[in-house]
Copies of this chain bind each other. A is one copy, B any other.
Amino acid sequence: MKNFFIPVMLFLLSASGFAQNDDSTTIKKIVDETMTHGNAYNNLRKLCKQVGARLSGSPQYARAVTLVSQMMKDAGADTMYVQACQVPHWIRGEKEKGQIISGGKTYDLKLCALGNSVGTGDKGITANVIEVRSMAELNQLGASGLKGKIVFFNFPMNPTYINTFRAYGESGVSRTRGPSLAGRYGAIGAIVRSLSSNLTDYPHTGVTVYNDSFPKIPAVAISTNDAEYLSSEIKKRNPVMAYFRTTCNMLPDNTGYNVIGEIRGSQFPREIITVGGHLDSWDLAEGANDDGSGVVQGIEVLRTLKASGVKPKRTIRAVAFANEENGGRGGEKYLSEAKAKNEKHIFALESDEGGFTPRGFSLEMNEAQLNKILHWKNLFYPYGIYNIGPGGSGSDVGPLKNIGTALAGLNPDSERYFDIHHAATDVFENVSERELHLGAANMAALIWLVSEYGM
Q: Among the listed B35, B159, B197, B413, which residue makes an inter-chain contact with A413, where contact means beta carbons less than 8 Å apart?
A: B413
A434: B residues at CB distance < 8 A:
159, 164, 197-198, 415-416, 419
Partner pick for A384 among B162, B416, B435, CB 8 A cutoff: B162
The reply to whether the CB of A452 lies closer than 8 angstroms to some CB of chain B is: no
A-B contact pairs, 11 of them (CB 8 A): A35-B159, A35-B160, A35-B162, A164-B434, A197-B433, A197-B434, A198-B434, A357-B415, A384-B413, A413-B435, A419-B432
Residues of B within 8 A of A387 (CB): 386
Given the contacts A415-B357, A438-B415, A160 and B433 also touching, CB distance less than 8 Å:
no
Cα of A293 to Cα of B85 in the assembled complex, Å = 49
Show the binding face of A for B, using Cβ within 8 Å: 31-32, 35-36, 159-160, 162, 164, 197-198, 357, 359, 382-384, 386-387, 413, 415-416, 419, 432-435, 438
What is the minimal beta-carbon distance from A369 to any residue of chain B, in angstroms? 24
Distance A160 CA – B38 CA, assembled complex (angstroms): 11
Chain B residue nearest to A38 in the complex (CB): B159
- A230-B372 Cα distance, complex, nearest whole Å: 50
The 10 closest A-B pairs by CB, nearest first: A415-B434, A32-B160, A35-B159, A415-B435, A416-B432, A357-B413, A386-B386, A35-B160, A357-B415, A36-B159
Chain B neighbourhood of A160, CB < 8 A: 31-32, 35-36
Complex interface: chain B residues within 8 A of A31 (CB): 160, 162
> A432 CA to B430 CA in the complex, in Å?
11
A197 partner residues in chain B, CB cutoff 8 A: 433-434
Residues on the B chain within 8 Å of A382, using CB: 162
Shortest CB-to-CB span from A236 to chain B, Å, is 23
- Cα distance A35–B163 when bound, in Å? 12
Nearest B residue to A415 via CB reads B434
What is the CB-to-nearest-CB distance from A29 to chain B, in angstroms, rounded to a whole number?
A: 10
Q: Give chain B residues whose Cβ lies under 8 Å from the Cβ of A419.
A: 432-434
Question: Which of A159, A383, A386, A438 has the most CB atoms of chain B within a 10 A radius of its CB?
Answer: A159
Determine how close the nearest CB of chain B comes to the CB of A415; give it in whole angstroms. Answer: 4
| Closest partner residue, chain B, to A41 (CB atom) | B198
Q: Tell me the smallest distance from the CB of A168 to a CB of chain B, in Å.
A: 13
Q: Which residues of chain B come closer than 8 Å to A32, judged between CB atoms? A: 160
In addition to A386-B386, A413-B435, 6 A-B residue pairs with Cβ atoms within 8 Å of each other are A36-B160, A198-B433, A357-B357, A415-B435, A415-B438, A419-B434
Choice from B359, B383, B386, B435 contacting A416 with Cβ under 8 Å: B435
A387 to B387, CA, bound (A): 12
Complex CA distance for A92 and B434, rounded to whole angstroms = 31
> What residues of B have a CB within 8 angstroms of the CB of A432 in the complex?
415-416, 419
A164–B415 Cα gap in the complex (Å)?
A: 20
A386 CB contacts on chain B under 8 angstroms: 386-387
- State A435–B164 Cα separation when bound (angstroms): 12
Query: Could you say which residues of chain B place their CB within 8 Å of the CB of A162?
Result: 31, 35, 382-384, 438
- A164 neighbours in B (Cβ, 8 Å): 434
How many angstroms between the C-alpha atoms of A357 and B419 in the bound complex? 14
The complex places the Cα of A159 from the Cα of B383 at a distance, in Å, of: 12
B contact residues around A416 at 8 Å (CB): 432, 434-435
Interchain CA distance A198-B433 in the complex, whole Å: 8
A162–B357 Cα distance when bound, in Å, is 11
User: Once the chains are docked, how many angstroms separate the CA of A434 from the CA of B163?
Assistant: 11
**C-alpha spacing A357/B416, complex, angstroms:** 9
CA distance A383 to B383 in the complex (A): 19
Query: In the assembled complex, which residues on chain B have CB atoms less than 8 Å from the CB atom of A415?
Result: 357, 432, 434-435, 438
